[in-house]
Structure 1
Amino acid sequence: MLIGQNIAVLGAGVAGLATARALAMRGAQVTVYEKSPEITEVGAGLQITPNGVVVLRALGFDPAAHAMRSSGVRLIDGYMGAQILHLDFAKYKPDSDFLLFHRADLIDMLHEGARESGVRIALSHAVEDIHGDADGVTLNFAGGGEARHDIVIGADGLHSKLRPMLNGPAKPFFTGQTAWRATVPALGGEDAAAMVHIAAGRHVVSYPLRGGTLINIVAVEEREDWVEEGWHHTGDPTEMMTHFSNFCPGVKALLSRVESVSRWGLFRHPVATLWHSERTALVGDAAHPTLPFLAQGANMALEDAWVLSDCIANLPLDQALPAYQARRRARVVKVIEAANANARNYHLKGASRFIGHAGLRLAGRVAGKRMVDKFAWLYDHDVTAQ
């Protein structure tokens, strides 16, 4: 049912490019509208877990050729540097791919794949208005000009133009947490795992990228004096160091090598009530932004892309878009709730911290496989097999 359909995708991020590729592979004529003059990404890392990897493979990519394989996740006491829990993917899930991607490499792969599928990409096209009727959807662009499409997909992130048209304005609330993001050259020999150093009210995540030549860093702290949302606010490395000065020597040595850092406030958005109209739909962060404490933002976008294109390809449009929301909403709500729980658990204080860490240490020693299997509902889920 997609053959010959003229579809617009708003946004050339992970969600938009994956959706464009998935639709074009099924016969749609797809145009991606990106407001920026070029497709670029900040130097940052992403963890693509098996539920996202299966989508990339179904889209015809070899994702492991563009990323590092992760051996697992290590929770570490941020003050003492002692391991609390090791989720050992290499041992307990040896046939599953947990990949550490540089965000720019993932975008480049998806961009090339979209173009190879015949997707047209229109840069410097900021959408100002969207008007739908029974026969199609008209896009009006900043600076003049318009385009007409059969279907429009909003993959335009936190500040989506389409989402408020479907749901009305929504005001996100500040979580009381801000994050610092940076990359530094690797020293060599670093563990190919996500290292999560946790302390009272703070944590630092680090893992290697690009064959172990870079280390990705995300440092999160609780504080109230923040009002801006977004990823690209410039931070001061010296200030970052002062906020994590009581961490163990290994973390302080890592942070001391940071020369430039970005900073952003973490805001919680509600999951959209409506993900679609008669001829429009939302994917990725435009529908369901998530906090970064389960590394699932990009993975949920990839799952959305596959399910939406699958629904439109196999059902009449008036059934396809409701079916897409029905197949996706409960899962993303569960993922978001799990990410919110991690945000709390990483930052435990006082007696709760002591008891929680002791419990994790014991569980890791006596039931390591069971601790990994607790996430089977997330990592083993395969939307391409449904």
Structure 2
Amino acid sequence: MSTPRTVLVIGGGAAGNTATVLLRRAGIDVDLIEAKDDWNATAGSGITLQGNALRVLRELGVWDRVEKSGYAFGAVGITAPDGTVLHVAEDQRTGGDDLPATVGMQRPRLQRILSDAVRASGANIRLGVRATSLDQPADDAGVTVRFTDGTEGRYDLVIAADGLGSATRAAIGITDRPEPTGMAIWRVAVPRPAGVTRTDLAYGGPAYIAGYCPTGEDTLYAYVVEANRDRASVPAGSYADEMRALAQRYGGHWPEIAAHITDPAKVNYTWFERMLVEGSWHRGRVVLVGDAAHCCPPTLAQGAALSMEDAWVLSQLLAATDTWDDALLQAYHERRVARVRPVVDASVQIGRWQLDADRDADVPGLMGRTMALLKELP
């Protein structure tokens, strides 16, 4: 690239970190700002990374660390609420045959690996900082950004990777907002029972879904999905009691898991939400990636994967040309929305079938068809 370029990445999660590393590799100057002082170092319990996510992590050069830090497996079990295994299906290798089908890992470990890669990239990192305004004069292709620490800077492009509640999305006039789908999920990290070597899912029983995923030799994260409730009716101090009451009514490995659900500070409760920004994902030289542009329930475990794919595709397009214009950013949108929309729709549909108690629902078929699409390069 002959013309020096500068990019501001807003948000230091999976999408923002991925974009930063890849743009720095292409020789582009990058500033990354993250609102949280700790760079999300302790956020979340666990994460399921399927092959298409692993493919991006390999491109970032961090696959070896991910492989050592997580737990790889290649199947999913379907159980009855009492723990009886009804079916075991091989997971599709959406990242190719040279990568595992799935890796479970503790989410803070993944964040640490990605943030280390950002630091090593030579990007300028500023934690505890937000953007307060973005100014795009009509006669200038750049963006002047003012920050909460009183500084300002001019950039050729701003990448908004600031998540589901993106303040940047609102600031540039995109009015799409996340909408609840009717379900909510309890999550917790606990010790891994010795017999858990894959994800198992129980549909039905006291909740819609009860599942777990191994995240390391000694760790696991477990989750229970129910109808969403008013958050005000669920005091944070009761989170462990609430989740344990549901979990202990399942059989198999669940009694051992439930016995460790004791600390309410380690239990997370969130609603399932759906959003897909319709129309262009950019305004001028500000472009959305990841959860700022789309989100879906975790029924297909594709949230982080799609976010990292966004960053990978956008970085490829930016690195390939000096001409950063509307046509390039629209090409990014069109390439991504064709892949993202089927995943968002399928993730929502799986939940809707459960809410409607649809006896004719073809959950395995829909999952299989959707995952087959993700084998192709993004």
Structure 1 length-normalised TM: 0.85
Partner residue, 2:155: 149
Q: Is residue 196 from structure 1 mapped to residue 198 from structure 2 by the alignment?
A: no
Q: Is residue 111 from structure 1 mapped to residue 115 from structure 2 by the alignment?
A: yes
Partner residue, 1:207: 213
Partner residue, 1:35: 35
Query: CA distance change for structure 1 residues 167 and 32 in 2, over 3 Å: closer, same or farther?
Result: same
**SS of the residue 1:204 aligns to:** strand
Distance between the aligned counterparts of 1:277 and 1:2, measured in 2?
Answer: 25
Query: CA distance change for structure 1 residues 54 and 270 in 2, over 3 Å: closer, same or farther?
Result: closer
**SS of the residue 2:164 aligns to:** helix
Partner residue, 2:328: 320
Letter in 2 for 1:121: I
Letter in 2 for 1:247: Y
Partner residue, 1:120: 124
Letter in 1 for 2:329: L
Paired residues for 1:236-255 under 5 Å: 236-244=239-247, 246-248=249-251, 250-255=253-258
**SS of the residue 1:168 aligns to:** coil
Report if aligned partners of 1:186, 1:214 keep a CA contact under 8 Å in 2. yes
Report if aligned partners of 1:226, 1:265 keep a CA contact under 8 Å in 2. no
Report if aligned partners of 1:3, 1:28 keep a CA contact under 8 Å in 2. no
* Aligned mate of 1:169, from 172, 175, 185: 175
* Aligned mate of 1:99, from 63, 79, 103: 103
Distance between the aligned counterparts of 2:25 and 2:351, measured in 1?
Answer: 38
Report if aligned partners of 1:234, 1:263 keep a CA contact under 8 Å in 2. no
Query: CA distance change for structure 1 residues 72 and 135 in 2, over 3 Å: closer, same or farther?
Result: same
Question: What do residues 172-222 of structure 1 show as CA deviations (whole Å, max 9, x unaligned)?
Answer: 33222221111111232322x111111155211201112x21110121101
Partner residue, 1:366: none
Report if aligned partners of 1:51, 1:299 keep a CA contact under 8 Å in 2. yes
Partner residue, 2:11: 11
Paired residues for 1:215-294 under 5 Å: 215-226=220-231, 235-244=238-247, 246-248=249-251, 250-260=253-263, 261-294=267-300
**SS of the residue 2:346 aligns to:** helix
Structure 1: unaligned runs, 5 residues or longer? 364-369
Question: What do residues 313-345 of structure 1 show as CA deviations (whole Å, max 9, x unaligned)?
Answer: 123211321111111011111111111122234
Q: Is residue 46 from structure 1 mapped to residue 50 from structure 2 by the alignment?
A: no
* Aligned mate of 1:329, from 329, 337, 341: 337
**SS of the residue 2:125 aligns to:** strand
Partner residue, 1:136: 142
Report if aligned partners of 1:234, 1:262 keep a CA contact under 8 Å in 2. no
**SS of the residue 1:157 aligns to:** coil
How many Å apart are 1:118 and its aligned residue? 1.1
Paired residues for 1:59-74 under 5 Å: 59-62=60-63, 63-74=66-77
Distance between the aligned counterparts of 1:254 and 1:234, measured in 2?
Answer: 20
Distance between the aligned counterparts of 2:151 and 2:93, measured in 1?
Answer: 56
Query: CA distance change for structure 1 residues 223 and 151 in 2, over 3 Å: closer, same or farther?
Result: closer
Percent of aligned positions with the same letter in both sequences?
27
How many Å apart are 1:10 and its aligned residue? 0.3
Structure 2: unaligned runs, 5 residues or longer? none
Distance between the aligned counterparts of 2:163 and 2:236, measured in 1?
Answer: 17
Partner residue, 1:82: 84
Question: What do residues 235-272 of structure 1 show as CA deviations (whole Å, max 9, x unaligned)?
Answer: 52112233455433632442232122121222323434
How many Å apart are 1:371 and its aligned residue? 9.2
Report if aligned partners of 2:75, 2:90 keep a CA contact under 8 Å in 1. yes
Query: CA distance change for structure 1 residues 158 and 91 in 2, over 3 Å: closer, same or farther?
Result: closer
**SS of the residue 2:299 aligns to:** coil
How many Å apart are 1:124 and its aligned residue? 1.1
Distance between the aligned counterparts of 1:235 and 1:286, measured in 2?
Answer: 31
Report if aligned partners of 2:228, 2:271 keep a CA contact under 8 Å in 1. no
Report if aligned partners of 2:342, 2:370 keep a CA contact under 8 Å in 1. no
- Worse-superposed segment, 256-265 or 269-278: 269-278
Query: CA distance change for structure 1 residues 174 and 64 in 2, over 3 Å: closer, same or farther?
Result: same
How many Å apart are 1:348 and its aligned residue? 6.4
How many Å apart are 1:43 and its aligned residue? 4.4
Report if aligned partners of 1:235, 1:263 keep a CA contact under 8 Å in 2. no
How many Å apart are 1:82 and its aligned residue? 2.3
Report if aligned partners of 1:51, 1:378 keep a CA contact under 8 Å in 2. no
How many Å apart are 1:115 and its aligned residue? 1.6
Distance between the aligned counterparts of 1:160 and 1:82, measured in 2?
Answer: 42
Partner residue, 2:184: 178
**SS of the residue 1:206 aligns to:** strand
Letter in 1 for 2:346: A
Distance between the aligned counterparts of 1:264 and 1:277, measured in 2?
Answer: 30
Report if aligned partners of 1:54, 1:382 keep a CA contact under 8 Å in 2. no
Letter in 2 for 1:374: R
Letter in 1 for 2:303: G
How many Å apart are 1:143 and its aligned residue? 4.9
Report if aligned partners of 1:2, 1:28 keep a CA contact under 8 Å in 2. no
